[in-house]
Amino acid sequence: MSALFSPTALVVPFENLRMSDVEAVGGKNASLGEMISQLPQGVRVPTGFATTAHAFRQ
């Protein structure tokens, strides 16, 4: 898990997600976060947030 959010977070903005967060937020959410951080500006990626596995377990 990346250090961009707390392990007890319930939701995380896509901007704070990386592929290393797959276990916490799932593959699609982690991929969106990775695209936002890696693609050049001008490439449109929807804004949003991921609900974490921790939130599901609560």
**pLDDT per position in the chain (58 positions), as tens?**
778 899 899 999 999 999 999 999 999 999 999 999 898 887 888 889 999 999 999 9
pLDDT of residue 30: 96
In a domain, 44, yes or no: yes
Instruction: Please give the single-letter amino acid code of residue 38.
Output: Q
In a domain, 25, yes or no: yes
Helical (H) or strand (E) element with 22: helix 22-25
Distance CA 47, CA 51 (A): 14
pLDDT of residue 4: 85
Structural domain for 25, as ranges: 11-57
pLDDT of residue 25: 97
In a domain, 5, yes or no: no
Q: Name 46's Cβ contacts closer than 8 Å, sequence gap at least 6.
A: 14, 32
- Give the other-Cβ count within 10 Å of 20's Cβ: 14
pLDDT of residue 17: 96
**Local structure of 19: helix, strand or coil:** helix
